A and B are shown apart, each in its own frame.
Chain A
Amino acid sequence: MARKLPPKDVVIIGLGWTGSILGYELAKAGLDVVAIERGPWRDTATDFPPAYAQDELRYAVRLDLFLRPDQETLTFRNNMSQTALPIRNFVSFLPGNGVGGAGVHWNGQTWRFLPTDFRVRSHLEERYGKEALPSDMTIQDWPLAYDEIEPYYDRFEKLCGTSGKAGNIRGVKQPGGNPFEGWRSSEYPTPPLKQGLGATLFAEAARKTGHLPFPQPASNCSEAYTNPLGLKLGQCTYCGFCERFGCGNYSKASPQTCVLPALLRFPNFSAQTESEVTKINLDSTGKRATGVTYVDASGEEWEQPANIVLVCAYALFNVRLMLLSGIGKPYNGETGQGVVGRNYAYQTTSSVGVILKDKILNPFIATGAHGMIVDDFNGDNFDHAGLGFVGGGYMGMGQTNGRPITTRPVPSGTPKWGAQWKKATAETYNRAMGLSTHASSYSYKDCFLDLDPSYKDRLGRPLMRMTFDFHENELKMSAFLTERLAEIAKALDPVEMTPSPRKGPYTLNLYQTTHNTGGTVMGADPANSVLNRYCQSWDVHNVFVPGGASVFPQNHGYNPTDTVGALAYWTADAIKDRYLRNPGPLG
């Protein structure tokens, strides 16, 4: 029997990026806020100091900071004809865990979506006709425009101290930046990172082949920076232990470096760690949440009453929580009815391996988000007529590491072990680099999330089931993008080049990205969304899902975090300026 705690104004489920941002904004507004995080407290000096943070085996291979599947996992199948089986070990995507969530061990790649992305269906239909979109493609316009969210992108980037070069300030193109990006209200808070030889060579090749490369926007600070909350970030040291690792010297933007020390100063904020929310509780009408139930580290059950419930867990688990709590109509893949779990999408990535002659690339000198990128083939930045697909992505040289357990390319055909392997490994390590494309993943009728009928978690609740495969649209797109990238790569005059476009079926066995989107889509119409434009549940007006990637109607050709952060601020404003004044559906 759950013991009831004194009520709070706000209960936040999960203390990652969105939980921290919402926690800060609402505590600052004077509300009584408690956050409930199922993982442990994590902090720089005790958990990832630059004395042992740089341990590839522990963090990159054994995944020490990540969610353990025995705490929560999903079942997976490519399509509805298969039986979903548990993801017993995370490989393809790696959900985070603990205070800070994936914000602790992300790469820092900080991208805005394009203005056309926000009205993707309308735009594509206008340009190419309705027939251009496959009938089972369920992309939809976002319920807000780029112009509306721009100030919030700006705010999140200033929170992080993102390093970069603007390409478009209030409509005026800026040399050296991304010529395709949406307009920005200001330059990036810190200048771009310095680039190593690999990225520099790529940029030269890209210019040679008629493209306009620019530095990747990076939340690895290029110089020391104090953010608007008064928090101080250090200068990135190009250590090459970024993704999957915590940052040892306060230079990667994370909830720890950007929000939490200021947040925890509020006397009206507290957090419970190692406590897992199992359910959002509803009143007898089912239209109002009364709070949450959670299980603490010793297995005790507690009820935390609150006036507002914010679902700030990782994208996938936001969806599961909504399903388990009975908020919104679950999506049925067979019938196409319902909304919760609908429009699950991922990311379509590919690579071109390149081996150069006589170069010393020092791949171990890297940051998570350095690199030179070309955005010519993202979104609808190029004419898709006759190509047979829609969507696109960025491409470039953003290799994040030279960590030798996993990053030691060899020429194709090299044996996997033995004397030749050893020789090739030694001779190639410093001359090879990986170029990549990072492209959209549009939504489809048969790509969705729902509750598994068989497998359960350690608390006896059904796991969530993921049904997903790449569609022909995405595979054609990947082939095209990879060819374009290969053309640039050729201008590097490589000794060897290995284009590897994404091929189906989607497999769990290969890491791709941890960009899982959709399931609690935000939209203008409750018939095809779970949340309205303020990330408020259509069904339960005091439940918000403030911006995790589960709100994306589809995934575009960029990493999600900038948009996630922006929407968190967007939702915070909606709650402070609208909801608190007049609690109810914001419409």
Chain B
Amino acid sequence: MAHITSPALSRRLLLTSATAFVLVGTAVARARTLAGGLPWEPGTATPPTPVRPGPWMFFTSDEAALIEAAVDRLIPADERGPGGKDAGCAVFIDRQLAGPYGRAAGLYMKPPFMPGAATQGYQMPDAPAARYRAGLKALVEYVKATFSGKSFSELVPADQDKVLAGLETGSITLKDVKGAEFLVLLLQNTQEGFFADPIYGGNRDMSGWKLVGFPGARYDYRDWVDRHNEVYPLPPVSIMGRAEWTVKE
């Protein structure tokens, strides 16, 4: 049934944003001049964009196969829960590399680039996306050469572990790529994916959070601060909710 409204009433709507601020520029611009009140608009939220399942956005299918196998060794499946692959870590990394993180958006990338002391931080011009391309290429070549033409995902788990461990310790050298640094990056991103909010593509079913007992995107523990040595009973929740939010038919 349509709402019947009086013509007299709707003027209020136009006046709810009447605190004087001037928008310069486009669309959902931040207020540039603030005066007379706090800027605010209804319906303006900046939630993260949920990762949707679908084709790889960054990895080629060969690269993806390698990454999926690798994350599954970095975080193997066991009786506690899924490994990196089923937890979606490869999807997470794929979407991250396809986005601003992959491009090193916001970092200072002016030359000259020169190697410095270890204390001076990362000084190379290659953004994570480029580092993955180069690192995966070099790794593929190494595995092919070392394991009679096989790809990483075709190796048995024990051999996969050997390769990863070799990268970590530096006993394996890759061509033109610092293997140890690449592994550190891969491991970091894998663990990010495993424990980040599932909205980013990893931590599927909140399996990473369930592993450690982290309740997720909760925001109120007032009643639990004092309850020392008690297991927190509520299941984890993601930014996009949990199963119990769905109304059962």
Contacts and interface: CB of A to CB of B under 8 A. Distances in A.
Nearest to B44: A46
A214 B190 CA distance: 40
A56 B34 contact: no
B225 A365 contact: yes
B221 A240 contact: yes
Nearest to A58: B48
B229 A55 contact: no
Contacts of B33: 270-273
Contacts of A87: 108, 121
A418 B197 CA distance: 21
A196 B191 contact: no
B225 A238 contact: yes
Interface stretch (B110-118, B131-139, B144-152): B110-118
B47 A505 contact: no
Contacts of B118: 507, 509
Interface in A402-440: 402-405, 408, 416-419, 421-423, 425-426, 429-430
A55 B45 contact: no
B215 interface: yes
Contacts of A69: 106-108
Interface string B1-43: 0000000000000000000000011000011111111111100
Interface in A216-267: 235, 237-241, 248-249, 260-261, 264-265, 267
Contacts of A506: 119
Interface residues of B, number: 77
A50 B219 contact: yes
Interface stretch (A72-80, A145-153, A544-552): A72-80
Nearest to B164: A417
A237 B47 CA distance: 21
A89 B187 CA distance: 19
B214 A364 contact: yes
Interface string A449-461: 0000011100000
Nearest to B47: A52
Interface stretch (B56-64, B73-81, B171-179): B73-81
Given A57-B197, A83-B116, A430-B212, A274 B30 contact: yes
Contacts of A264: 34-38
Nearest to B239: A52
Interface string B166-201: 001000000000000000000100111001110110
B47 A51 contact: yes
Interface string B210-226: 01111111111110111
A421 B191 CA distance: 11
Interface string A31-56: 00000000011010111011111111
Contacts of A86: 108, 110, 123
10 contacts: A46-B46, A54-B219, A238-B222, A238-B224, A241-B219, A265-B37, A365-B225, A417-B164, A425-B212, A426-B80
Interface of A: 40-41, 43, 45-47, 49-58, 61-62, 68-71, 73, 76-78, 82-83, 85-89, 91, 99, 193-197, 200, 235, 237-241, 248-249, 260-261, 264-265, 267, 269-275, 296-298, 359-360, 362, 364-365, 402-405, 408, 416-419, 421-423, 425-426, 429-430, 454-456, 505-509
Interface of B: 24-25, 30-41, 44-48, 73-76, 78, 80, 101, 104, 106-110, 112, 114, 116-123, 161, 164, 168, 187, 190-192, 195-197, 199-200, 208-209, 211-222, 224-226, 228-232, 239
